[in-house]
Structure formats: structure tokens, C-alpha cells
Amino acid sequence: MRLYEAGAEDVPGDDISWNADMAPAIMVALNMGYMRYRERRGIRHFYLTSAGYSKIGIPPFSASRYFLQTIRRLLGINSGL
């Protein structure tokens, strides 16, 4: 959940408020495929996977869904999304 609160996508490891005692849970999340990281210029950038979003019960970010919701909100159309 901390990764989600920090932005969920391409978050530098230093920007996430993880404690040292969370290391076992972080390793499980990485091993279970709930989150991944990419290293760029010596900095690990973390992101949630689809499985991670599913595990915390939040739909994954979708640019097209966000765009449609914004258009519908601007037009005053209630679609139940």
C-alpha cells in the first residue's frame, strides 16, 4: 500500500516510506510478482504489477479509462465507472 500511496508507477525507492522491518514483506511482494523494479542510473524505481493492484483491491491505472472518465465528467454524463 505504501508503494501505491507513493504513486504506484516508476517511484524511486528513496521516495517510498519503507522501514527496515518491512524488508521481509517487500521481498515476498517482489517474489510473488506484486511489484517489480527497474534500476536506472543506480536508482531502483518500483511499480505495482496487475497482481499487486489486485492484491490490494484497487483497479490498475488506465490512461484510457482516466481519459474517458474525465470527458464524461466534463460532459456531465454519469456512466457508473
- Looking at residue 74, its pLDDT comes to 84
Strand partners of residue 36: 47
The CA-based angle 64-9-72, given to 5 degrees, is: 25
Strands (E), the chain: 11-12, 35-40, 43-48
- Looking at residue 71, its pLDDT comes to 82
Ranges in the chain, pLDDT < 70: 1, 4-8, 63, 65-66, 78-81
Q: How far apart are CA 4 and CA 32, in angstroms?
A: 17
Q: What architecture does CATH give domain 2-75?
A: Orthogonal Bundle (1.10)
Q: Tell me how far CA of residue 19 lies from CA of 13, 52, 64, in angstroms.
A: 12, 19, 35
